[in-house]
């Protein structure tokens, strides 16, 4: 619980004459204990709203404004992918190049992985964060060597699995084939031409209007955990930017100033697996629908910050949300904003189906009781367990504890895909809702476990 003093101070940071959208955003900020949020809205080729709410810095009571600089998290992958595509257009690399062509001393397990696999998260590479020491300044070579020891999850192109490691490697490839640090290439080729102040993170530099990131521990807001400077420069999403910067990026994507139409179209085409099935990801962009309306976007989370860029391309509406809280739900905030301008974009809640496997529902309840306690749940396969890093588990546990009692577990869908039984559940907590997807394989082990706030 926050102190009354903090609640009072936050109240004075909010707009004095709130409209319905302000009211809705402020209510979600209060519920989720988010210190500060910046939004930008683009409609029909124009920035129609830029606004800040709450505090960029709680210690000094600095309010969020349109000039406040947040961290990008994985929204930065959209820029890394764009740089790769530009380098490919110039013939400096091919998307079908094996990554060993551009990186030295790659392990045999990476044979067959191409640049395209890295871009689309179909490489089979896992995530290295369970092994990384976040306080160590790794060289590029040291980081590659450490990641080479992370077990490969599947053959290239066989499945889709989100991998920050893949984008680490893309950054190293860009450094080599582009002849300079990928961040400098982004500044010269994208940020400066578009008038964006976006840049790679530096804790040492004096950066006006920089927000502080916050985490929640034991119900209290605390400053973000410290990360070694070199780990804040990797290409999986380590950028400083404003909501206005992302609005400018969005506007540029409607024309040819940075990326030609052929590259934009390829970037927003779902990648296909070896069996021909499409994924929900292109080149650095998440691809999905909202009530039949196409969405091209990306979310991000890192070091006490959360971000969301959603481009509702059929409606020529784009929404940027930046927040300085590790437990913020920028996707929900973006949904609130989108529905304010286009009511047809309001999320629809999936109806529950009949419960025919009560033992399975109880198993899910028990698993998330363990997660809320900060423990790895029972019944996971080795590969599924590897995907749940201690940092991710700690973040989810903090969220769930803040949401209070788990009241009901509602089944939403069941299906069978070969040897895997797939389930989707809605977990209704006292102050939050989580949608969980899990797949059971051989010996009833959980092979896949995904979760997202509703």
Convert the pLDDT of each residue in 141-155 to its tens digit.
Answer: 999 999 999 999 999
What single-letter DSSP state applies at residue 114? Answer: B
Report how far residue 80's alpha carbon sits from residue 167's, in angstroms, rounded to the nearest whole number.
8
Which residue, among 16, 15, 62, has the nearest Cα to 35 in the 3D structure?
62
Q: What's the pLDDT at 12?
A: 38
| Sign of the CA dihedral with 404 first, then 410, 416, and 417 last | negative
Place of tokens 């530009």: 86
Can you say how many angstroms the Cα of residue 337 is from the centroid of all Cα atoms in its chain?
Answer: 18
Report how far residue 165's alpha carbon sits from residue 144's, in angstroms, rounded to the nearest whole number.
9
> Tokens standing for 250?
């969005």
Q: What's the pLDDT at 11?
A: 42
Which residue, among 323, 320, 244, has the nearest Cα to 36 in the 3D structure?
323
Q: What's the pLDDT at 308?
A: 98
> Tokens standing for 6?
């903090």
Half-sphere exposure of 129 (CA within 13 A, CB side): 19
Which residue, among 304, 134, 324, has the nearest Cα to 215 in the 3D structure?
304
Question: Does residue 221 sit in helix, strand or coil?
Answer: strand
Question: Does residue 294 sit in helix, strand or coil?
Answer: strand
Q: What's the pLDDT at 3?
A: 36
> Tokens standing for 38?
């910046």
pLDDT in tens, 172-225: 999 999 999 999 999 999 999 999 999 999 989 999 999 999 998 877 899 999
Predicted structure pTM score: 0.86
Q: In what order do the strands lie in the sheet with 432-440?
A: 406-417, 420-429, 432-440, 446-453
Q: How far apart are the first and last CA of the chain?
A: 22
Q: What's the pLDDT at 432?
A: 84
Query: How much helix, strand and coil, in percent to the nearest 5, is found in the chain?
Result: 35, 25, 40
Report how far residue 343's alpha carbon sits from residue 440's, in angstroms, rounded to the nearest whole number.
37
Report how far residue 173's alpha carbon sits from residue 81's, in angstroms, rounded to the nearest whole number.
12
Q: What's the pLDDT at 327?
A: 85
Which helix H or strand E contains 426, and what residues bound it?
strand 420-429
Which of the residues in the chain have pLDDT under 70? Answer: 1-18, 391
Question: Does residue 300 sit in helix, strand or coil?
Answer: strand
Place of tokens 């896992």: 126
CB atoms within 10 A of CB 423: 20
Report how far residue 155's alpha carbon sits from residue 112's, in angstroms, rounded to the nearest whole number.
8
To the nearest 10 degrees (0 to 180), the angle between helices 330-341 and 20-32 is: 170
């Amino acid at each position: 619980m926050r102190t009354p003093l903090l609640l009072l101070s936050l109240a004075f940071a909010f707009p004095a004459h709130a409209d319905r959208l302000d009211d809705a955003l402020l209510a979600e900020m209060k519920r989720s204990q988010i210190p500060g949020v910046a939004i930008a809205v683009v409609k029909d080729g124009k920035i129609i709203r830029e606004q800040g709410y709450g505090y960029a810095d709680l210690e000094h009571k600095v309010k969020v404004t349109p000039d406040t600089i947040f961290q990008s998290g994985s929204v930065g992958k959209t820029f890394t992918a764009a740089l790769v595509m530009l380098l490919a257009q110039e013939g400096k690399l091919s998307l079908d190049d094996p990554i060993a062509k551009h990186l030295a001393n790659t392990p045999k397990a990476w044979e067959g992985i191409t640049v395209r696999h890295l871009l689309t998260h179909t490489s089979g590479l896992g995530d290295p964060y369970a092994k990384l020491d976040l306080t160590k300044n790794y060289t590029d070579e040291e980081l590659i060597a450490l990641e080479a020891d992370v077990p490969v999850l599947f053959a290239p192109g066989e499945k889709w699995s989100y991998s920050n490691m893949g984008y680490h490697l893309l950054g190293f490839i860009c450094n080599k084939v582009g002849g300079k640090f990928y961040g400098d290439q982004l500044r010269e080729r994208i940020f400066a031409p578009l008038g964006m102040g976006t840049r790679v993170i530096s804790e040492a530099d004096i950066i006006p209007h920089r927000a502080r990131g916050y985490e929640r521990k034991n119900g209290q807001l605390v400053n973000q955990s410290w990360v070694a400077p070199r780990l804040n420069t990797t290409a999986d999403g380590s950028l400083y930017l404003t909501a206005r910067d992302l609005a400018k990026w969005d506007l540029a994507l409607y024309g040819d100033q940075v990326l030609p139409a052929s590259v934009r179209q390829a970037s927003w085409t779902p990648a296909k697996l070896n069996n021909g099935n499409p994924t929900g990801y292109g080149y650095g962009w998440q691809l999905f629908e909202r009530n039949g309306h196409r969405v091209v976007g990306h979310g991000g989370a890192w070091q006490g910050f959360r971000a969301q860029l959603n481009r509702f391309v059929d409606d020529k509406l784009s929404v940027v949300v930046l927040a300085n809280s590790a437990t913020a739900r920028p996707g929900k905030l973006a949904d609130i904003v989108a529905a304010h301008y286009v009511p047809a974009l309001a999320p629809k809640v999936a109806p529950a189906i009949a419960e025919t496997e009560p033992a399975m529902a109880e198993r899910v309840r028990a698993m998330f009781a363990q997660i809320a306690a900060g423990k790895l749940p029972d019944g996971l396969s080795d590969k599924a367990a590897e995907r749940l890093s201690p940092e991710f588990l700690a973040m989810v546990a903090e969220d769930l504890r803040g949401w209070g009692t788990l009241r009901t577990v509602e089944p939403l869908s069941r299906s069978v895909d070969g040897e895997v039984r797939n389930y989707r559940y809605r977990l209704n907590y006292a102050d939050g809702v989580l949608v969980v997807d899990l797949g059971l394989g051989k010996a009833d082990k959980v092979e896949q476990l995904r979760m997202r706030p509703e």
